[in-house]
A = this chain, B = another copy of it.
Amino acid sequence: MSVIDDLATEFSRLPGIGRKTALRLTYHLLKQPPEQSQRLATVLAGLAERVHRCSLCLNLTEEDPCAICRDARRDQSSICVVEEASDIGAIERSAEFNGLYHVLGGRLSPLDGVGPADLSVRELVDRVNLGAVREVIIATNPSLEGEATALYVQRQLASSGASVSRIARGLPVGGDLEYADGVTIAQALSARREM
A13-B36, A51-B30, A62-B2 as given contacts; A86 in contact with B43, CB under 8 Å:
no
How many Å lie between the Cα of A158 and that of B84 in the bound state?
63
Name the one of B29, B45, B62, B85 contacting A27, with C-beta atoms under 8 angstroms.
Answer: B85
Indicate whether A174 reaches chain B with its CB closer than 8 angstroms. Answer: no
How many Å lie between the Cα of A38 and that of B10 in the bound state?
10
Indicate whether A7 reaches chain B with its CB closer than 8 angstroms. Answer: yes
Set of chain B residues within 8 Å of A29, measured between Cβ atoms:
14, 44, 47
Name the one of B28, B34, B47, B86 contacting A14, with C-beta atoms under 8 angstroms.
Answer: B28
What is the number of residues of chain A that contact chain B, defined by CB distance less than 8 Å?
Answer: 45
Set of chain B residues within 8 Å of A16, measured between Cβ atoms:
21, 24
Q: Are A43 and B10 in contact (CB under 8 A)?
A: yes
Q: Which residue of B lies closest to A6 (CB)?
A: B43
Set of chain B residues within 8 Å of A24, measured between Cβ atoms:
15-16, 86
Distance of A195 from chain B, by nearest CB (Å) = 33
Oligomer copy total: 2
Indicate whether A4 reaches chain B with its CB closer than 8 angstroms. Answer: yes
Indicate whether A113 reaches chain B with its CB closer than 8 angstroms. Answer: no
Interface of A is mostly: helix
Q: Are A37 and B47 in contact (CB under 8 A)?
A: yes
Set of chain B residues within 8 Å of A125, measured between Cβ atoms:
none
How many Å lie between the Cα of A60 and that of B16 in the bound state?
26
Set of chain B residues within 8 Å of A42, measured between Cβ atoms:
41, 45
Q: Are B51 and A40 in contact (CB under 8 A)?
A: no
Q: Are B15 and A60 in contact (CB under 8 A)?
A: no
Distance of A184 from chain B, by nearest CB (Å) = 21
How many Å lie between the Cα of A25 and that of B39 in the bound state?
16
Q: Are A38 and B48 in contact (CB under 8 A)?
A: yes
A-B contacts, 12 of them at CB < 8 A, read A2-B61, A3-B47, A6-B43, A15-B25, A30-B47, A34-B47, A37-B48, A38-B44, A38-B45, A40-B41, A44-B44, A45-B45
